[in-house]
C-alpha cells in the first residue's frame, strides 16, 4: 500500500487544472444519481464530500436542512470557486487530503458521497481510500458512491482510472456491506453506461 504521506493527487497538479479551467469532469451541476437518491431515500447527519471540486454536490446535499455538509479538496482554487457560490444551507469547505485523513476525526461522519474522487486517484492508492472512508464514517455509516467503472479515457496512466465492480467489491468488502449497485442510473449524457451507483454501509463492530 502507498504511504499515507503521499499526496492524493500525486502526479497531477489539480490546482493548475482549476486555474486553467481545464476541468472536463465538472459538468456544472450535481450528479443526477445523487439527486434521484435524495428524493427516494433522504439522509440525515454529517456528510463528507471528498474531492468536492467547486461544490455542486455539496450544495445539492446542503439544500436539506437536516444535513451538515463538508466539502474537501486539495485545490485552493476549486474551494475558492465553491465558496463564491451562494450559500444554500449548512455547508462548509476544507482544504485537505482525504487519503491522509486531514482534519477529519475518526467516526465523525454519517455519510460520505463519492463522485470523481476515487477514479482520480492512482489505482495504487485505492486501499488508502477505503481505509480513509472507513475511518471517517461512524459504525453503520453510509457511503453513497458513483463509481466511474467504464470511463471514456483510454490512457491507463492518467485519470479517470477504470475500476470494475468486481475489484470495487473486493476492495470494500472487508469494511463495508453492499446494499445496492445499479448501472441503470440518471447521469450526464457522455457518461451513459459508464458509471455505477453504489450504496454501502460500514460494518458494525
Q: What is the CATH number of the domain that holds 192?
A: 3.40.50.150
The count of structural domains within the chain is 1
* Residue 125, domain member (yes or no): yes
Which has more confidence, 47 or 105? Answer: 47
**Are 103 and 48 spatial neighbours (Cβ–Cβ below 8 Å)?**
no
* pLDDT tens digits, one per residue of 110-159: 999 999 999 999 999 999 999 999 999 999 999 999 998 876 766 777 78
Residue 71, domain member (yes or no): yes
What DSSP string runs through 186-198?
---GGGTTTEEEE
- Let me know if residue 88 belongs to a domain: yes
Q: For the segment 65-85, what is each residue's pLDDT rounded down to a tens digit? A: 999 999 999 999 999 999 999
Residue-wise pLDDT tens digits, 86-118: 999 999 999 999 998 886 889 999 999 999 999
Confidence label for 10 from pLDDT (cuts 50, 70 and 90): very low
pTM of the model: 0.91
What letter would DSSP give residue 128? H
Within a domain: 7 = no
- Whether 22 is in a domain gets the answer no
CA 89 to chain centre: 20
Average model confidence (pLDDT) across the chain: 89
- Report if residue 177 sits inside a domain: yes
Structural domain containing residue 69: 29-202
Q: Does any domain span residue 101?
A: yes
Tell me, what's the pLDDT at 3?
Answer: 36
Does 34 map to a domain?
yes
Strand ranges, E, within the chain: 45-50, 67-73, 91-95, 109-115, 137-148, 176-182, 195-202
pLDDT exceeds 50 at position 5: no
Query: In sequence order, what are the beta bridge partners of 67?
Result: 45
Amino acid at each position: 500500500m502507498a504511504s499515507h504521506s503521499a499526496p492524493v493527487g500525486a502526479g497531477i497538479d489539480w490546482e493548475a487544472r482549476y486555474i486553467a479551467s481545464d476541468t472536463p469532469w465538472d459538468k456544472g451541476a450535481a450528479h443526477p444519481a445523487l439527486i434521484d437518491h435524495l428524493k427516494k431515500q433522504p439522509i440525515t447527519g454529517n456528510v463528507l464530500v471528498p474531492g468536492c471540486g467547486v461544490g455542486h454536490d455539496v450544495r445539492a446535499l446542503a439544500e436539506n436542512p437536516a444535513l451538515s455538509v463538508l466539502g474537501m479538496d486539495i485545490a485552493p482554487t476549486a474551494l475558492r470557486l465553491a465558496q463564491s457560490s451562494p450559500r444554500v444551507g449548512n455547508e462548509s469547505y476544507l482544504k485537505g487530503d482525504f487519503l491522509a485523513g486531514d482534519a477529519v476525526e475518526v467516526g465523525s461522519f454519517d455519510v460520505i458521497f463519492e463522485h470523481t474522487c476515487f477514479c482520480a486517484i492512482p489505482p495504487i492508492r485505492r486501499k488508502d481510500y477505503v481505509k480513509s472512508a472507513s475511518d471517517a464514517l461512524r459504525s453503520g455509516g453510509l457511503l453513497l458512491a458513483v463509481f466511474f467503472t467504464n470511463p471514456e479515457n483510454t490512457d491507463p496512466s492518467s485519470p479517470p482510472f477504470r475500476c470494475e465492480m468486481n475489484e470495487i467489491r473486493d476492495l470494500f468488502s472487508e469494511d463495508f456491506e453492499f446494499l445496492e449497485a445499479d448501472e441503470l442510473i440518471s447521469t450526464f449524457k457522455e457518461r451513459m453506461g459508464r458509471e455505477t451507483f453504489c450504496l454501502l454501509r460500514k460494518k458494525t463492530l
